[in-house]
């Protein structure tokens, strides 16, 4: 699924999708492309992974969607709801707390020079 450790990526798939959606409405295939680009080709979200997540987000009222059947190629546009935007903010906070916590646990194991020259 990605050149990154899949176990790690697993826990933040919906965070990533939510994040991509924060740019505005997108349809599934677009989300895959954007995520791939935004991650520097590191993340390649498979359809069988993404759609269940999108459906889950929808049933949780975090995203809303609309079919566009105006062209032969039908597209389903997904968009963050107000609750979704709030949820995203919360999830970002959780992620930062997690990163800081793990950073602390790893302690001296992590190279303390993350800033690029």
Q: Considering only 52-60, 65-73, 74-82, 107-115, which stretch makes contact with its own copies by CB under 8 A?
A: 107-115
Spatial separation of the C-alpha atoms in residues 47 and 35, rounded to whole Å: 13
The reply on whether position 5 binds its own copies by CB under 8 A is: yes
The reply on whether position 13 binds DNA by CB under 7 A is: yes
* Minimum distance from residue 6 beta carbon to DNA (Å): 4
Q: Which of residues 23-82 bind DNA (CB under 7 A)?
A: 27-30, 45-49, 51-56, 71-77
The reply on whether position 6 binds DNA by CB under 7 A is: yes
Residue 34: which of 82, 98, 78 has the closest Cα?
78
Q: Assess contact for 114 and 103: CB atoms under 8 A.
A: no
Binding residues for DNA, rule: CB under 7 A, are 1, 6-7, 9-10, 13-14, 27-30, 45-49, 51-56, 71-77
């Amino acid at each position: 699924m990605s050149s990154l450790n899949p176990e790690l990526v697993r826990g933040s798939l919906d965070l990533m999708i939510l994040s991509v959606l924060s740019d505005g409405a997108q349809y599934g295939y677009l989300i895959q492309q954007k995520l791939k680009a935004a991650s520097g080709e590191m993340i390649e979200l498979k359809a069988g992974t993404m759609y269940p997540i999108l459906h889950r987000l929808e049933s949780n009222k975090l995203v809303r969607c609309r079919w566009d059947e105006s062209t032969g190629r039908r597209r389903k546009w997904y968009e963050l709801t107000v609750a979704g935007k709030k949820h995203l903010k919360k999830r970002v906070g959780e992620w930062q707390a997690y990163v800081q916590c793990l950073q602390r646990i790893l302690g001296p194991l992590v190279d303390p020079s993350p800033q690029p020259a």
